[in-house]
């Protein structure tokens, strides 16, 4: 598992950094003077969806491809459905279908963001990066902050109930189909959810305040932590509004200047390419004309809040303005600001659900539409963790000929590697001995970007790391385990 290198250099291996759909691993090389010379996040699983989706009928794709991810299956379910909309020629959905899909999506964003903040990341923020291992997990939160934990559990439950009411099932549902949805929201479900949504919004605002207070109370430590500058990518609505379900691509540079804007989903190959490195099963996307070195970017809540011009729900918009003021006219680059941005989106999702649950269209109306058949479908959605691209070509028999997926976590690949490098420089540089807190700090940096990488960890109190210092002759000089 761990390899020694030559001439007094050493290699530190963190394995596993667990993620939802597989496992990650960190390796850090240090020279004889304890300088960090290389730090990498390896994604060590590969499943091959692009190939084995070939030959399947396109209408299977919305239920098939969501099995990529059990944390945000709705994102894949909807992205694949939107790509199929293009194939069946459903250029505009019925108001009923669009609203039910949006409700499903906001329910998912709400539950996923709640899970990430409370179950996974709050232990680091509430107890400290180097708090005792026994406490620094969701069980510790349940014991120390039972009221917060209970609300967290009920918020996630609410989001999952919204998904069940719209998709038929909490995980891997079937509600969305090419050209629309397969059922209305029942009156009973609508009434039950509508009765709870105000409480959810209230708790969401409380959660945002908690996140903001914790961040600002330790701003000197948290804002520079694992921080670097980058470009940002997301979709935005045509008028520049934040839109998690639909829109066109916009990219901004580190100063906030537009690199490109309103690029339609079907034209994503004009602006995005992916590099491959032999040490990771995850590819490295970048903005094509800026090249691999300078063209990489970040996606997800921070990118979306930085990129949009405004939010169309009042509480979230007010919070967005307060958040953006931190940047004094430039984008916010702090890694730990992801949490704050994520909570703004959680509040936005609750506001959107409140609107949709009061809308009679979700109870009745046309379910599907159709039009002229096409042989390619491309769709982009903002999954909780970031921009998600599905691209399918079909043949005359309705079978998939080619599939290309660029998922949220992949877009953040270079960014997470940067975070590992920066945290390694901040915490490991010059250190001959490694403490447990240093190890967790590296994970905190990764965790801010990608709930998938940390989910198995704090969610179930399972995470454990093994770090070994190995001498030039291969002997283990120092070893620490945690968990």
Q: Residues 427 to 466: which contact another protein by CB under 8 A?
A: 452, 455-456, 459-466
CB of 118 to another protein, least distance (A): 11
CB of 29 to another protein, least distance (A): 11
Among 212, 273, 290, 401, binds another protein (CB under 8 A): 273
Among 267, 274, 361, 478, binds another protein (CB under 8 A): 274
Regarding 480 and contact with another protein (CB under 8 A), the answer is no
Q: Give the dihedral sign, CA 173/97/451/403.
A: positive
- Give yes or no for a cis peptide into 31 (omega within 30° of 0): no
The nearer residue to another protein, 11 or 212, going by C-beta atoms, is 11
Residue 126 CA to residue 41 CA, distance in Å, equals 26
Among 97, 251, 334, 406, binds another protein (CB under 8 A): 406
Q: What are phi and psi of 275, to 5 degrees?
A: -95, 165
CB of 12 to another protein, least distance (A): 12
Query: What are the residues whose beta carbons fall under 8 Å from the beta carbon of 310, sequence distance 6 or more?
Result: 240, 241, 242, 317, 320
Regarding 52 and contact with another protein (CB under 8 A), the answer is yes
Stretch that binds another protein, among 88-96, 207-215, 250-258, 271-279 (CB under 8 A): 271-279
Window 120 to 179, contacts with another protein (CB under 8 A)? 133, 137, 139, 142, 146, 149-150, 153-154, 156-157, 160, 170-172
Q: How far is CA 241 from the centre of its chain?
A: 20
Window 358 to 397, contacts with another protein (CB under 8 A)? 391
The nearer residue to another protein, 150 or 330, going by C-beta atoms, is 150
Provide DSSP, 242-292.
Answer: B-SSS-EEEEE-TTS-EEEEEE-GGGHHHHEEEE--TT-SS-EEEEGGGHH
Residue 446 CA to residue 420 CA, distance in Å, equals 7
65 touches 176 (CB < 8 A): no
Q: Would you say 50 is a known binding-site residue?
A: yes
Among 402, 425, 435, 437, binds another protein (CB under 8 A): 402
Among 6, 7, 278, 475, binds another protein (CB under 8 A): 278
CB of 64 to another protein, least distance (A): 7
Window 297 to 356, contacts with another protein (CB under 8 A)? none
Stretch that binds another protein, among 248-256, 281-289, 309-317, 416-424 (CB under 8 A): 281-289
Regarding 290 and contact with another protein (CB under 8 A), the answer is no
Regarding 64 and contact with another protein (CB under 8 A), the answer is yes
The nearer residue to another protein, 311 or 455, going by C-beta atoms, is 455
CB of 189 to another protein, least distance (A): 17
Number of Cβ within a 10 Å radius of residue 281:
15
138 touches 461 (CB < 8 A): yes
326 touches 344 (CB < 8 A): no
CB of 110 to another protein, least distance (A): 14
Regarding 115 and contact with another protein (CB under 8 A), the answer is yes
> Token digits for 393?
């070509």
Residue 272 CA to residue 290 CA, distance in Å, equals 10
406 touches 389 (CB < 8 A): yes
Stretch that binds another protein, among 120-128, 367-375, 399-407, 421-429 (CB under 8 A): 399-407
Among 10, 30, 62, 73, binds another protein (CB under 8 A): 73
Q: How big is the site for another protein, counted in residues (CB under 8 A)?
A: 79
Q: What are phi and psi of 278, to 5 degrees?
A: -75, -5
> Token digits for 181?
């949805």
97 touches 363 (CB < 8 A): no
Around 252, how many Cα atoms within 13 Å sit in the side-chain half-sphere?
A: 23
Regarding 67 and contact with another protein (CB under 8 A), the answer is yes
Residues marked as binding?
50, 69, 72, 405, 452, 455, 458
Residues marked as binding for Ni(2+)?
69, 72, 452
Residues marked as binding for Mg(2+)?
50, 405, 458
């Amino acid at each position: 598992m761990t390899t020694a290198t030559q001439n007094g250099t050493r290699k530190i291996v963190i394995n596993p950094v667990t993620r939802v759909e597989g496992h990650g691993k960190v390796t850090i090389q240090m020279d004889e003077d304890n300088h960090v010379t290389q730090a990498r996040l390896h994604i060590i699983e590969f499943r091959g969806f692009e190939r084995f989706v070939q030959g399947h009928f396109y209408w299977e794709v919305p239920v098939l491809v969501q099995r990529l991810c059990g944390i945000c299956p709705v994102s894949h379910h909807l992205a694949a459905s939107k790509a199929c909309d293009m194939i069946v020629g459903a250029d505009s959905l019925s108001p009923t279908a669009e609203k039910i899909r949006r409700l499903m999506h906001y329910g998912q964003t709400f539950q996923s963001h709640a899970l990430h903040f409370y179950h996974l990341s709050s232990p680091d923020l509430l107890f400290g990066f180097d708090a005792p291992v026994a406490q620094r997990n969701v069980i510790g939160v349940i014991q120390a902050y039972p009221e917060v934990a209970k609300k967290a559990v009920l918020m996630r439950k609410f989001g999952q109930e919204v998904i069940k009411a719209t998709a038929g099932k909490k995980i891997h549902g079937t509600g969305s189909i090419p050209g629309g949805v397969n059922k209305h929201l029942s009156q009973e479900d609508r009434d039950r959810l509508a009765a709870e949504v105000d409480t959810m919004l209230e708790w969401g605002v409380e959660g945002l305040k908690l996140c903001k207070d914790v961040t600002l109370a330790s701003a000197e430590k948290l804002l520079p932590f694992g921080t670097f500058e980058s470009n940002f990518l997301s979709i935005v609505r045509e008028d520049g509004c934040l839109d998690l379900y639909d829109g066109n691509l916009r990219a901004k540079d580190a100063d906030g200047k537009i690199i490109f804007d309103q690029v339609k989903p079907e034209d994503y190959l004009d602006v995005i390419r992916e590099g491959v490195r032999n040490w990771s099963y995850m590819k490295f996307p970048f903005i094509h004309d800026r090249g691999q070195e300078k063209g990489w970017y970040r996606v997800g809540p921070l990118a979306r809040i930085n990129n949009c011009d405004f939010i169309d729900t009042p509480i979230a918009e007010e919070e967005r303005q307060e958040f953006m003021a931190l940047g004094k006219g430039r984008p916010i680059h702090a890694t730990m600001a992801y949490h704050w941005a994520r909570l703004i989106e959680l509040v936005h999702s609750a506001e959107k659900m409140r609107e949709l649950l009061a809308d009679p269209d979700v109870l009745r109306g046309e379910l599907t539409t159709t039009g002229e058949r096409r042989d390619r479908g491309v769709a982009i959605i903002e999954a909780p963790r970031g921009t998600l691209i599905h691209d399918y070509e079909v043949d005359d028999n309705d079978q998939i000929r080619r599939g290309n997926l660029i998922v949220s976590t992949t877009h953040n690949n270079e960014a997470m590697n940067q975070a590992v490098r920066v945290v390694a420089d901040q915490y490991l540089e010059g250190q001959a001995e490694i403490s447990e807190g240093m190890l967790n700090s590296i994970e905190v940096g990764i965790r801010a970007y990608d709930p998938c990488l940390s989910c198995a960890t704090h969610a179930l109190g399972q995470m454990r790391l093994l770090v070994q210092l190995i001498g030039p002759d291969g002997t283990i000089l120092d070893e620490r385990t945690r968990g």
